[in-house]
């Protein structure tokens, strides 16, 4: 065979040559940034989309919902498929679909066509996010893996921070289709780099379980829809029906793959104390984020009487400080145990949430900002070390399953937090925002305690 067409050899974790490492990281993080941005920018564009496509605001909300559902239902199946056919292939296929779907969204002439494009975008984003952290593990060497996950958290934090600003800037000079069209050139550039620079990862020998994939998708989809419907005022019986159906499908999935060498819902990994505790910590922390980001706008506007512009200004320090702290925490994760770093970070987050809930009447701007910044410090200090703990507690052959759990835990926590915030408003009415912030402080404290337990339950599993 001609050497020019021979496939690149597979690499062990962290063996990527230094000259390729930077370009591979750029390819992975560019796609991650686009997938993260598209969640935030669509929210800002909903009024313009509703007006332009002559649809109701309630119907326009599906532009956000179908993307999130498409993303969530594919994480576990695609993470498992990546272990079989290679994480690079899943990433590239997801990025191709995401880029093509972005073009379809930009050319959409009605709400149904836009929803089809957004659903396909969500599927593509699922391909990107399901193997994102697995690829980082094969790009960065072991002694710099925390730094790699710090960069990963930096990209997500920056995208989350700049999303509304980017969307507002584009809408100020153009129409909403440009929000999606801008993905196309960046997607093509990331594909060109990814095809050449991303590593070929080891592949498992077992076959892909298609019935299990449908069970996993149905389980996650019903759970997210059931929990999310609570945030949209659905009846308790409807919410419980969705969660019950998800539980049944999950039980069937576990029974079906009880003897599987790499189950799609990675029960084998949850038997590892470090993996299970780190995943639980992640769900708690992102539930806090969901509680905070749903309740804070109502808190600032309805209770403190601030304007929408002021509200945006007040919330910005949280993701901004997360973006600053993430690389610092990532470097520390290469030297210190994730249990202590994460526990300390979530303890700070718990204090910050409690202080926000106890804000005095008519607080000054500095009094608000430093509390929000404190939350950002705590959340940013936790994220990268916890991500590294999840990934390194799984063997390299199970990097796909671990990577899909990283994204699933994040989105499950955020969805649960948003639903709990809605419940707080239903229970406490006008004071629901304060109750949600207090509940967030409790979740952060539980996450902190869970993180510290890792120092005892898994003292040697953080810096592998």
Do the Cβ atoms of 86 and 135 come closer than 8 Å? no
Indicate the pTM of the whole model. Answer: 0.81
The alpha carbon of 297 is separated from its chain's Cα centroid by a whole number of angstroms, namely 21
Q: Are residues 338 and 380 in the same domain?
A: yes
The answer on 317 and 435 residing in a single domain is yes
DSSP structural state of residue 208: P
Question: Is the domain of 365 the same as that of 245?
Answer: no
CA distance 355 to 256: 47
| Helix orientation angle between 399-428 and 365-392, rounded to the nearest 10 degrees | 150
Return the pLDDT at 312.
Answer: 72
pLDDT, one tens digit per residue, over 370-403 is 999 999 999 988 888 898 889 888 888 888 888 8
> Does residue 261 carry a pLDDT above 80?
yes
4: in domain: no
pLDDT class of 282 with cuts at 50, 70, 90: very high
In Å, how far are 305, 315, 321 from 364, measured between CA atoms?
Answer: 12, 15, 20
Q: Other CB atoms closer than 10 Å to residue 452's CB: what's the count?
A: 19
Give me the number of domains the chain comprises. Answer: 3
Query: Does any domain span residue 6?
Result: no
Report yes or no on 349 lying in a domain.
yes
- The reply to whether 287 and 414 lie within a common domain is yes
Q: Which helix (H) or strand (E) holds 293?
A: helix 273-298
Token pair 């089809």 in the structure block, residue? 116
pLDDT at 232: 62
Residue 179 contacts residue 117 (beta carbons within 8 Å): no
pLDDT the model gives residue 355: 94
Residue 235, token pair as written in the block: 């009846």
Cβ–Cβ under 8 Å, residues 206 and 260: yes
Q: For residues 61 and 432, what is the distance between their CA atoms, to the nearest angstrom? A: 23
Q: 111-154: per-residue pLDDT in tens?
A: 899 999 999 999 999 999 888 888 988 888 888 888 888 888 88
**Cα–Cα–Cα angle for 370, 330, 90, nearest 5°?**
115
57-73 pLDDT, tens digit per residue, is: 667 777 877 888 888 88
CA distance 348 to 366: 18
3-class SS of residue 200: strand
Q: Domain holding 97: CATH number?
A: 1.20.1250.20
Three-class SS state of 256:
helix
Rama region for 264: left / alpha / beta (φ>0; ψ in -120 to 50; rest)? alpha
- Give residues with Cβ within 8 angstroms of 371, minimum separation 6: 352, 355, 356, 359
Q: What are phi and psi of 429, to 5 degrees?
A: 60, -125
Structure-derived torsion over alpha carbons of residues 25, 30, 35, 41, reported in degrees to the nearest 10: 140
Residues 231 and 121 in one domain: no
Residue 3 lies in a domain: no
Question: Is residue 126 assigned to a domain?
Answer: yes
* Residue 35 pLDDT: 85
What is the CA angle 280-284-290, rounded to 5?
140
**pLDDT tens digits for range 24-51:** 989 998 888 888 887 767 766 777 787 8
CB-based contacts of 247, cutoff 8 Å, min separation 6: none
* Greatest alpha-carbon span in the chain: 76
Alpha helices in 174-272 (DSSP H): 177-181, 183-197, 210-230, 236-256, 267-270
Residues 169 and 297 in one domain: no
Considering just the CA atoms, what is the radius of gyration of the chain in Å? 21
Q: Does 370 reside within a domain?
A: yes
Residues 107 and 223 reside in one and the same domain: no
Half-sphere exposure of 123 (CA within 13 A, CB side): 12
pLDDT of residue 1: 36
Q: Per-residue confidence at 201, pLDDT binned at 50, 70, 90?
A: confident
Question: Is 31 inside any structural domain?
Answer: yes
Is pLDDT at 199 greater than 90 in this prediction?
no
Q: How far apart are CA 416 and CA 105, in angstroms?
A: 28
91 shares its domain with 135:
yes
Same domain, 216 and 178: no
pLDDT surpasses 90 at 352: yes
Nearest to 199 by CA among 463, 419, 16: 16
Q: Are 57 and 183 found together in one domain?
A: yes
- Same domain, residue pair 435 and 401: yes
C-alpha to C-alpha distance for 342 and 350, rounded to whole angstroms: 12
What is the pLDDT confidence band of residue 3, given thresholds at 50, 70 and 90? very low
Residue 233: count other Cβ atoms within 10 Å of its Cβ: 9
Tokens of 250: 């999950």
183 lies in the same domain as 253: no
Residue with tokens 């949280």: 318
Domain contains 56: yes
Final residue belonging to a domain, choices 182, 203, 224: 203
Domain of residue 333 covers 265-464
**In 3-state terms, what secondary structure has residue 443?**
helix
Question: Looking at residue 6, what is its pLDDT?
Answer: 38
Nearest to 104 by CA among 78, 80, 122, 82: 122
Question: How many other C-beta atoms lie within 10 A of the C-beta of residue 132?
Answer: 26
Burial (CB count within 10 angstroms: exposed 0-12, middle 13-18, buried 19+), residue 411: buried
């Amino acid at each position: 065979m001609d050497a020019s067409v021979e496939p690149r050899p597979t690499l062990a974790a962290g063996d990527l040559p230094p000259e390729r490492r930077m370009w591979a990281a750029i390819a992975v993080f560019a796609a991650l940034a686009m997938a993260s941005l598209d969640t935030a920018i669509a929210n800002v564009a909903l009024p313009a989309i509703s007006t332009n496509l002559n649809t109701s605001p309630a119907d326009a909300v599906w532009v956000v919902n179908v993307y999130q559902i498409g993303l969530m239902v594919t994480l576990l199946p695609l993470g498992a498929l990546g272990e079989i056919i290679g994480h690079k292939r899943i990433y590239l296929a997801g990025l191709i679909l995401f880029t093509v779907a972005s073009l379809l969204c930009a050319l959409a002439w009605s709400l149904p066509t836009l929803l089809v494009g957004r659903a396909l975008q969500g599927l593509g984003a699922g391909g990107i996010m399901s193997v994102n952290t697995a690829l980082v593990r094969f790009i960065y060497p072991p002694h710099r893996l925390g730094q790699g996950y710090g960069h990963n958290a930096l990209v997500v934090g920056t995208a989350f921070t700049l999303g509304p600003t980017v969307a507002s800037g584009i809408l100020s000079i153009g129409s909403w289709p440009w929000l999606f069209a801008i993905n196309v050139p960046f997607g093509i550039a990331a594909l060109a780099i990814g095809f050449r620079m991303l590593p070929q990862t080891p592949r498992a020998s077992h076959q892909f379980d298609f019935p299990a994939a449908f069970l996993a998708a149905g389980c996650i989809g019903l759970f997210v829809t059931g929990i999310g419907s609570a945030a949209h005022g659905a009846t308790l019986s409807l919410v419980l029906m969705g969660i019950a159906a998800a539980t049944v499908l999950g039980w069937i999935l576990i029974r079906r793959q009880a003897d599987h060498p790499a189950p799609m819902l990675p029960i084998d990994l949850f038997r590892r104390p470090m993996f299970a505790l780190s995943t639980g910590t992640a769900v708690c922390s992102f539930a806090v984020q969901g509680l905070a980001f749903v309740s804070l706008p109502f808190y600032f506007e309805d209770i403190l009487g601030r304007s929408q512009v002021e509200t945006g200004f007040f919330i910005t320090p949280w993701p901004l400080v997360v973006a600053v702290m993430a690389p610092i925490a990532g470097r520390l994760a290469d030297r210190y145990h994730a249990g202590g770093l994460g526990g300390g970070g979530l303890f700070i987050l718990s204090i910050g949430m409690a202080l926000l809930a106890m804000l005095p009447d008519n607080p000054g701007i500095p009094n608000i900002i430093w509390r929000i910044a404190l939350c950002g410090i705590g959340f940013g200090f936790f994220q990268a070390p916890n991500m590294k703990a999840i990934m390194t507690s799984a063997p390299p052959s199970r990097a796909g399953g671990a990577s899909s759990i990283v994204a699933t835990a994040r989105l499950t926590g955020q969805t649960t937090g948003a639903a709990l915030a809605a419940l707080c408003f239903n229970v406490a009415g006008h004071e629901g925002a304060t109750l949600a912030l207090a509940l967030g402080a409790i979740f952060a404290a539980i996450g902190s305690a869970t993180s510290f337990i890792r120092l005892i339950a898994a003292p040697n599993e953080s810096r592998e």
